[in-house]
């Protein structure tokens, strides 16, 4: 089988050891709940990638062959990395010169918050292994990073398309007591916007929960509206849920 350039498991937002029923549930959630299907306003190219990934991972023989190709590719990369000389640091560049301020996360790299091994919502230390169903032991936020499609894993090099998604949701903010009813305005696998009764500081975290997903986002915009505040966020973590039963463990 030809070597896949994109990780099919990440396209479907599942772990490599995920059973077939989890792969099916995630595929349905992507195409329906998160509206990746073109008939629901999704991007046709993205939908084609999701369908192609599902066609391989839902077939035991094709999945076995794909897993073998992943292992072969990983071994080759490790061998090349071991043979390559270490890159020298730039002249005059200190370790602290590019560090982000304490307590913040990058709004542009969804994996950056993993560097300090802390929950993006409450900053509690991460467990040793983070899986699709891993949650913070302190605040119960989902910890599995959302698909990094801007690096070619889901939507190629293009940004994720936003789809109108006017549904109710629950908002939690660090240091603010209680849950708050909000209205989701639009949604993609990379970000969202919602109408909130209270503001949130840019670059702070927010947790958004609906019947279809649970995720932590970094606030990238906060605008005053007549009926409240319009918050824009980039998703950092994402746990997809089934509408009839949860496909992964959840407590919200």
Task: Kindly list the structural domains of the chain, giving each domain's residue range(s) and its CATH number in brackets, ordered by start.
Answer: 8-82 (1.10.287.110)
Rounded to 5°, the CA angle 175-177-178 comes to 135
The listed range with the strongest mean pLDDT (71-85, 104-118, 172-186) is 172-186
Mean pLDDT for 146-160 is 47
Q: What is the pLDDT of residue 51?
A: 87
The DSSP 8-state label assigned to residue 244 in this structure reads S
* Sequence-ordered alpha helix ranges (H) in the chain: 8-11, 20-28, 44-57, 60-83
**What is the residue whose two structure tokens read 């005059």?**
92
* Sequence-ordered alpha helix ranges (H) in 97-152: none
Q: Is the pTM of this model over 0.85?
A: no
Query: What's the CA gap between 159 and 115, in Å, rounded?
Result: 23
Instruction: List, as own/partner pairs, every contact residues 85-91 make where C-beta atoms lie below 8 angstroms and the sequence separation is at least 24, other chains included.
Output: none
pLDDT tens digits along 170-184: 999 988 888 999 999
pLDDT-derived band at 138 (thresholds 50, 70, 90) equals very high
> Residue 244: how many CA atoms within 13 Å on its side-chain side?
1
Query: What's the CA gap between 84 and 77, in Å, rounded?
Result: 11
Query: What's the CA gap between 20 and 151, in Å, rounded?
Result: 26
The listed range with the strongest mean pLDDT (28-32, 60-64, 165-169, 247-251) is 60-64
Residues paired with residue 147 on neighbouring β-strands, in sequence order: none
């Amino acid at each position: 089988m030809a070597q896949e350039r994109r990780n099919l498991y990440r396209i479907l937002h599942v772990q490599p050891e995920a059973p077939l029923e989890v792969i099916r549930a995630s595929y349905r959630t992507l195409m329906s709940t998160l509206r990746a299907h073109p008939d629901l306003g999704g991007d046709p190219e993205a939908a084609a990638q999701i369908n192609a990934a599902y066609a391989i991972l839902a077939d035991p023989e094709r999945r076995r062959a794909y897993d073998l190709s992943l292992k072969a590719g990983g071994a080759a990369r490790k061998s090349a990395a071991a043979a390559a000389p270490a890159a020298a640091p730039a002249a005059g560049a200190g370790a602290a010169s590019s560090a982000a301020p304490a307590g913040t996360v990058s709004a542009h790299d969804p994996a950056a918050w993993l560097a300090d091994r802390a929950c993006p919502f409450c900053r509690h230390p991460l467990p040793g292994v983070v899986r699709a169903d891993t949650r913070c032991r302190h605040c119960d936020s989902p910890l599995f990073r959302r698909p990094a499609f801007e690096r070619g894993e889901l939507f190629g090099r293009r940004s994720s398309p936003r789809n109108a998604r006017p549904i109710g949701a629950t908002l939690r903010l660090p240091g603010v007591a209680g849950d708050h009813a909000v209205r989701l305005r639009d949604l993609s696998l990379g970000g969202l916007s919602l109408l909130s009764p209270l503001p949130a500081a840019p670059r702070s975290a927010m947790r958004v929960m609906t019947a279809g997903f649970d995720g932590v986002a970094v606030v990238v915009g906060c605008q005053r509206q007549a009926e409240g505040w319009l918050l824009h966020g980039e998703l950092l973590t994402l746990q997809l849920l089934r509408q009839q039963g949860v496909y992964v463990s959840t407590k919200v």
